[in-house]
Amino acid sequence: MLIRIVKMGFYKQNIDHFLYNFNQVKHQIRAFEGCHFLELYRDIHDPTVYFTYSYWENEEALELYRKSELYNTVWSKTKPLFSKPAKAWSVEKMESLK
């Protein structure tokens, strides 16, 4: 299982537009083959910073998404809203305590 974390900073005036766009596509992203989980977070100290947190079957599944028409559509609408470049990490869970 691959976990993908993407940090995005938006201009304040673009946040509603981003949230609208995300709500339009979130179920399609979650239903994409190989995606097992998707959440959206907002930084508690900086309300212009958001994170997506998703689980992917493996790196190949994530790459298929990143090469898809859905990704191109999502990213082409999201990237112009940024106040700074996005940062992304692919990580693996080492331990989970409940």
Domain harbouring 22, CATH code: 3.30.70.100
Number of separate domains in the chain: 1
Q: Is residue 96 part of a domain?
A: no
User: How far apart are alpha carbons 54 and 3 in whole angstroms?
Assistant: 6
Digitized pLDDT (tens) for each residue of the chain, 98 residues in all: 999 999 999 999 999 999 999 999 999 999 999 999 999 999 999 999 999 999 999 999 999 999 999 999 999 999 999 999 999 999 999 999 98
User: How far apart are alpha carbons 84 and 48 in whole angstroms?
Assistant: 11
For the whole model, what pTM was predicted? 0.94
Backbone angles phi, psi at 61, to 5 degrees: -65, -40
The length of the chain, given as a count of residues:
98
Q: Which residue has the tokens 């470049």?
A: 85
Domain span at 9: 2-91
